[in-house]
Amino acid sequence: MTRAMTMTEDREKLGLSLCPFCGGAARFGKCAPGEQEGENDGAEYVECCDCGASTCLVFPLMDSAKQVLRDMWNRRPDDRKTPNAKLNGAEPSGGASV
């Protein structure tokens, strides 16, 4: 099994999309005591393994924050709702141009 194949299988198992900035694989992370400033201890996040892009820190209350983080990381903007959609030739659905 190749390394690329293993990374693809790991990504699918974690349910994380590729990085929206560089296309790299992403992973879950957790701020361990002593690694960062004390107020971040226990916080969880998702980060790109290649470029380092990441979500904000999420502090789990009782359960893991992985589902919330997965949803945040996998969210992508809808092209029709972006401010520059008209510049790219796309019109919002059902709307008249001004």
Distance CA 37, CA 48 (A): 21
| Structural domain includes residue 92 | no
Q: What digits encode the pLDDT tens for the residues 9-61?
A: 566 678 999 999 999 999 999 998 877 667 888 899 999 999 999 999 999 98
| Structural domain includes residue 7 | yes
Domains held by the chain: number: 1
Cα–Cα separations (whole angstroms), residue 98 to 18, 86, 95: 36, 11, 9
Residue 54, beta-bridge partner list: 47
Distance CA 80, CA 74 (A): 18
Inform me whether the pLDDT recorded for 73 exceeds 80: yes
| Structural domain includes residue 82 | no
- Classify 48 as helix, strand or coil: strand
| Structural domain includes residue 83 | no
Q: Which domain holds residue 46?
A: 3-76
